[in-house]
Every structure is written in structure tokens, then in C-alpha cells.
Chains A and B, each alone.
Chain A
């Protein structure tokens, strides 16, 4: 088989480019710790029919975890986020926050506008990911997966405050479990 030398060069450069792309993704993944949802607790499922009545999602909100970290249990449901629709979800700046998101009805999306926070909320599954908000301010939250007639009204807000001003009374009591 005859391959022109320019074409051989082109194929070589293409493979090099592909290797660079894979390298960049892996660098971000390992060194910069840029992960994607579904990381640590995959395989754990919930029953969409009872998720609102029992377990941590029956009392959604922010909980304090060990080492000064926080957990957010959130329900994405037609057509609101609990918490963050109506009242903003308040979080401390600079702390590690782990989100746990599920849906009791249909597939929803969870996007924090202007950030790389992005996850699908799928009934039966729990989307888990950890993030840090480095800046204070108000962030918009949007459902970015079509979920029904009022999909375009499904929204919320996250308010990030300095850790020193963070009001612990916002926390949901874990004893409710």
C-alpha cells in the first residue's frame, strides 16, 4: 500500500495532537483535581418513589461534614430546586462543598451559571461531586435539561458568603435522619 510522505507526516502530527488533548484532560483530572459528577459513590441508587419521604433527601439542605467541609443534599424536581429556588442556597466561601443531587420525577439538569458546576439529576441515581466557591457573590442556577411544560421557569440561586459570616443556623440538623 502506498502512502504519500506528506500524508504520513499528517497522520503523525494528528496522533501527536490527539495525545496532547488526552494529556490535557488527564492533567486537569489528576493535578488540578477537575473531576466530573458521579465520582465517588456510583452504584448507590435510591427509589424515586420514596426518596422524598425517607433518607437524607426527605430533609434537603446543607449539612456540616467532618474537617469543616459541607454536604448539600438537593432535590431537582418539577419545576424547582430544593434548596435554592425561592430562598437562595447559602454557602461559605473557600470551603469544600459536596453536592448530592437526585430527582423524584424526571431527568433534570443542574448548572451554576458562569462556573464549571454541571450535573444531571436522574431519578434513581445520586449525582455526587465536590467543589469550592473561591469568590463571594450570587450565582444563578438553571435546569438545563428539558423536564416538561414549565422547564424554562426552573431556576434558583446560590449565595456565597465569607466563611466567617456563615450562619450555621442555615444547616439542616442531621438528627432528622
Chain B
């Protein structure tokens, strides 16, 4: 008996979500390879330097928005069903959010791929930040809105299950996995209202020609209201895995239930009010709000540093259970031959490195050295591109057998996959960071300029270029490994006992104060913090009219 036998309906939703997620991962990853080769001048024969921006849009949207969101709804449906021990309340409703998200994804993808097909009217080379007055085809925005609203309904579905569970268990502490799901989705509601307003109120009417001009700063600000919290929407599901599954994979138990809850509360409170740190170099936003963003952004280091402690101490506990000893030698006793563990552990290590470059980004005046340079993609390929993506791939190796009732196939290939990802990302990311320090910009198909000579503080430009190209190629090979394992295991694999148990934490929910479960209190404080950070700047931008000062559209 495993997940598929207990919850066959939930299993179908989870598998369907994973199919969309991994399809997006494959296409988006291929686009990434094309970019790594093109940008570095290694091979520019696949797309033109103009089509590069269509490919870049596809890479960002399919990986950062589609792969993540679909994997997350699948993972969270799994977590809610197993921890509340409930099937989805109504399958028609469950399929309706799934199909809403999928139709949205297809529309947006059509708009993007249209740009690569000569002779079509449809295109959307606006990158995944879609800053107006750059204008995409209306399908791009309509699809994006459907994807976001579909994810809201998915969250509503889990709150529905929670309410039903609560009626039967009026005094019980919320099961930890469900707690993490609900707090992530509360944060998602708070932050994604920004992008929904941007797209539905401003961009869709404008792209349909109902209004001509647009005020570029207002939608940009609404985007970043959403755009930093969205990184925690990618990251918290990885934390969900690191807190609730990784300790078991290491051979031990979670260190503390209550601190896990506190960490998720801190993310709910601090994720959204810090969006201005993406706009340090922007005119039109007063310095006071930028300084407030510095302080709150650096404060959000706290829950991540607490996570580092809990994850590492849980792993150490596991290693000592497995016979490890010594100050550092216990690390050798961890299961470095199990793909799910290896992927999560390597993702955690890379996340620490990404955290350090993130501290630079957060530091207002220091950020001016690297704002919009290659440093930034160097940073977020460690965070969303590894901490989230590699964790998602790794935990698939553990969850997929529970969905099929069959063991994983090609275990050696699965074991090689996280190691190759780590190697490829080490090459690519260190070179991108250093290229950024030399002033090489991000988001550009040909970073060599007639009037510019780069003077890198460490290394040479040509050495960085080949590291990016080689790293990108290794990452793509790693991705192929992953897809081969998943496709082969989907139907194949031996039937047999499936490992699916999660042990209780060392310090369990009986030690958690009731106030941590008070969702109304925490969402209330979160909303107050958002209002403090955003009311006045947004009022400033809206006072002169929603679409003013207006700039004419610039279709691409």
C-alpha cells in the first residue's frame, strides 16, 4: 500500500501536474542550452541574435513560471493528501484548476513560440518580466492570468480540504506538511494579487488596444511587488522537502517542528514588502522606501539561516544514527549513493552560495556594481535554478514510485544526475558571477561591444565564456538524464515495497504553541506590513491617473 493505492484520485492530479511541469522543463532547458551557446559566441547558428530574445522569454516563462508552478501544485497536492489523509474534496473542481492552468500555459507558450516562426503575427519577446511599453500579443497576458488564477483555485482546494479536516479534528495541531502548504499559499495569495492586477487591469486592456498609452513605472512596480515574493513561492516548496523529507532521507528525523512553523510564518510576513529591492536603480521611488526594502530584505535572511541550522542538524542526526561520528567526519556517513538525498543535499549547498550573492544584491549601494549584470542570472541559477529545481528533480525520484506503485528505473543514471547538475552549475554560475563583476550585462544576445573593453577583476572574459558554455551543456545533459529516468520509471519499474514513511520530529508538534497555528493573526500582520511598504509609493504612481504619464506601446 502506497500513495497511489490510498489516494488514487489525488495521484491522477499529481501525475498530470508533473507531466506539464516536466514537459516545460525539457523545452525550457533546451532553450537554456541554446542561450548558453549563443551568448558566449560558442555557436550562433541555431537562432538569430534577434530570435535570442524569443528563446530567452521562453526559457524564463517555461522554467521560472510554468515548471515551478506545476511541480509545486503536484507536490503540494501530494503533501496535503498524505498529511490530512484525504482525497481532493471534489474531482471536478480539482480538474478545473488543473485545466485552467494548463490552458493558460498553452496560450502563453503559443504567443512566445510564434515569435520563432517567420510570417506569424503572434509574438511575445518581452522576457518573463514583460515590462511595458514592450508589448506582447494579448494571448501572452491572458494565458499568464489563467495560470495565476488557476493556482489560486488549487490553493482554495487545499484550504477546503483543511476545513473539512478541521471539522473532524477541532483541537489537533495542523499536520506539518499541510501547515507548510497553507502558509506558502497564503503568501502566494498576498503577492500574486499584484501581478494579477497588473495583467488584468493594465496590460490586457492595453494589449487589446482598449487604451493606447501605459505608465511604465506602475506595472513595473506591481510586477516586483509579486516578483520577489514569487522566489519564495519557488523556494518554500524546496524548504517543504528539506524540512519534511530530507531528514528521513539522511537516516534521521526533523530537528524541531515548532521552529519549522516559525520559519514559514516569517516568510509569510516578510516576502512581499521587500519588492523594491529590485528597483534600487529606478527613478520615481523615493529613497526612504528603498532603505526600508534594504532592512526588510536583510531580515529575511533570518528564516533562511534558521533553515540552514535545522536542515544541517537534522542531517547530522541522521548521519550519527547511521554510525557517523566526529566533528565533520559524520558527513561521510550520509547516503551519498541515494539520488533523492544527493540532489537535496547538493541543492542546499548551492543555495548557501546563492544566499551570499543575494546578500550583495540586497545591499542597496553595493548592488549598483552588479545590478542587471550577468551576476544576477548567476545568482538565481543557484537559487531557483538549483535550490528549487534540483530539489524538485531529486524528490521526484522518491515520490514518483509512490505515484506509480513501482520502483525507480535506471537508479545509476538517477544518481549521476544531481552530481552532473552540481558540476555544470558550478562552472556556469561562478563564471556568470565574475562576468557580472566585470560589467558584462545580462539579457543580451551578443555581450561584446565595439566601444567597451571589459576588465575582469578575476580571470579572463574568454575563460568565463567557455565555462558558461560548458556548464550549460553539462546542465542540459543532466536534464536529459532526469527525463530519461522519469519517462522510463513512469510505466516500467518493478513492483515491490515502496518507501514512503516519514518519521516524527525530534521535538514534535506537542511542543508547538497554539499561536503558531493562528492563520488569521499571521495573515493580518502580513497585510499590514504590505500596506506599510506599498500604500504611499503606489498612491504616488496612481494619483496622476492609472495610465499616466503615458508611453505609447512598442510591439516586439
Judge whether A123 and B216 touch: CB under 8 Å.
yes
**What does the 1/0 interface line of A1-36 toward B look like (CB < 8 Å)?**
111101100110011011001101100110000111
Which chain A positions have C-beta within 8 A of B77?
Answer: none
Q: Which residues of A contact B367 (CB under 8 A)?
A: 36
Check B550 for interface membership: any CB of A closer than 8 A.
Answer: yes
Interface membership of chain B positions 295-333, coded 1 if the CB is closer than 8 angstroms to chain A and 0 otherwise: 100110110011001100100000000000000000000
Query: Do B281 and A120 touch across chains, with their CB atoms under 8 A apart?
Result: yes
Q: Is the pair A113, B439 in contact by a Cβ cutoff of 8 Å?
A: yes
Residues of chain B contacted by A3 (CB below 8 angstroms): 256, 259
Contact stretch, chosen from B236-244, B345-353, B447-455: B447-455
Interface centre among A2, A113, A156 (most CB of B within 10 A): A113
Q: Is B50 an interface residue (CB 8 A)?
A: yes
Residues of chain B within 8 A (CB-CB) of A4 are: 255-256, 313
B334 contacts chain A at the CB level, 8 A cutoff: no
Contact stretch, chosen from A44-52, A59-67, A169-177? A44-52
* Contact pattern, B 511-527, Cβ under 8 Å of A = 1, otherwise 0: 11100000000000000
Tally A residues with Cβ within 8 Å of B: 70
Q: How far is the CA of A78 from the CA of B53 in the complex (A)?
A: 16
Residues of chain B contacted by A10 (CB below 8 angstroms): 305-306, 309
Q: Is the pair B133, A37 in contact by a Cβ cutoff of 8 Å?
A: no
Residues B133 and A105 in contact, CB atoms below 8 Å apart: yes
Considering the chains assembled together, what is the distance between the CA atoms of A176 and B134 in angstroms? Answer: 32
Q: How many residues of B contact A (CB 8 A)?
A: 81
Asked if A91 lies at the interface with its beta carbon under 8 angstroms from chain B, I say no
Indicate whether B215 reaches chain A with its CB closer than 8 angstroms. Answer: yes
- The complex places the Cα of A108 from the Cα of B295 at a distance, in Å, of 27
Measured CB to CB, the closest approach of chain B to A42, in angstroms, equals 5
Task: Determine which of B50, B133, B372, B446 lies in contact with A144 in the assembled complex, contact meaning CB atoms within 8 Å.
Answer: B372
> Which B residue sits closest to A117, measured CB to CB?
B368
Whether, in the assembled complex, B426 has its beta carbon less than 8 Å from a beta carbon of chain A, the answer is: no
Q: With the chains together, A36 CA to B305 CA distance in Å?
A: 28
Establish whether residues B443 and A144, one from each chain, have CB atoms under 8 Å apart when the complex forms.
Answer: yes
**Which residues of chain A are within 8 angstroms of B364 by Cβ–Cβ distance?**
25, 28-29, 36
Say yes or no for A68: interface residue by CB 8 A criterion. Answer: no
- Distance between B92 CB and nearest chain A CB, rounded to angstroms: 42
For the complex, what is the distance from the CA of A102 to the CA of B131, rounded to whole Å?
16
* Nearest B residue (CB) for A38: B283
> Judging by beta carbons under 8 Å apart, are B442 and A107 in contact?
no
Given A105-B554, A113-B439, A113-B454, A119–B281 Cβ distance below 8 Å? Answer: yes
Say yes or no: B363 contacts A48, CB within 8 Å: no
Docked-complex contact B549 and A124, CB < 8 angstroms: yes
Contact (Cβ within 8 A) A28 B284: no
Query: Which residue of A2, A14, A49, A126 contacts B301 across the interface (Cβ within 8 Å)?
Result: A14
B365 contacts A37, C-beta separation under 8 Å: no
Q: Which residues from chain A contact B511 at a C-beta distance below 8 Å? A: 1-2
The reply to whether B133 and A42 form a contact with Cβ atoms under 8 Å apart is no
Residues of B within 8 A of A15 (CB): 302
A141 to B452, CA, bound (A): 7
Q: Is the CB of B49 within 8 A of A152?
A: yes
Stretch at the interface among B15-23, B145-153, B285-293, B403-411: B285-293
- Interface check B127, CB cutoff 8 A: yes
Cβ of B237 to closest chain A Cβ, rounded Å: 23
Q: Is A164 an interface residue (CB 8 A)?
A: no
A148 touches B439 (CB 8 A): no
Least distance between B263 CB and chain A CB atoms (Å): 11
A113 and B136 CA atoms in complex are apart in Å by 31
Q: Is the CB of A123 within 8 A of B549?
A: yes
The verdict on A92 contacting chain B, using a C-beta distance below 8 Å, is no
- In Å, the complex CA distance between A14 and B298 comes to 11
CB distance from A25 to the nearest CB of B (A): 5
Supposing A116-B369, A124-B217 touch, asked if A37 and B453 sit within 8 A by C-beta, the answer is no
Closest Cβ of chain A to B121, distance in Å, is 16
* Alpha-carbon distance A167/B455, docked complex (angstroms): 29
Distance A35 CA – B373 CA, assembled complex (angstroms): 19
Q: In the bound complex, how far is the Cα of B215 from the Cα of A124, in angstroms?
A: 7
Contact partners of B309 in chain A: CB under 8 A: 6-7, 10-11
| Binary contact track B113-142/A, C-beta < 8 Å → 1, others 0 | 000000000000101000101100000000
Q: Complex: how many Å from CA A120 to CA B299? A: 26
A157 within 8 Å of B (CB atoms): yes
- Other than A42-B287, A125-B284, A148-B554, give 19 A-B pairs with Cβ distance below 8 A: A7-B310, A11-B309, A35-B365, A36-B364, A36-B365, A37-B282, A38-B290, A42-B285, A49-B213, A102-B283, A106-B131, A116-B368, A117-B368, A118-B372, A142-B449, A142-B452, A143-B441, A146-B56, A157-B451
* 18 cross-chain CB contacts under 8 A: A2-B256, A4-B255, A7-B256, A14-B301, A18-B298, A29-B364, A37-B282, A38-B287, A49-B552, A78-B554, A106-B134, A111-B439, A116-B368, A120-B282, A144-B373, A146-B444, A149-B53, A155-B451
Q: Nearest 5 pairs between A and B by C-beta?
A: A140-B452, A124-B549, A113-B439, A144-B441, A34-B365
- B: residues with CB less than 8 A from A are 49-50, 53, 56, 125, 127, 131, 133-134, 213, 215-217, 220, 255-256, 258-259, 279-287, 290-291, 294-295, 298-299, 301-302, 305-306, 309-310, 313, 359, 362-369, 371-373, 438-439, 441-447, 449-455, 507, 511-513, 540, 544, 548-552, 554, 556
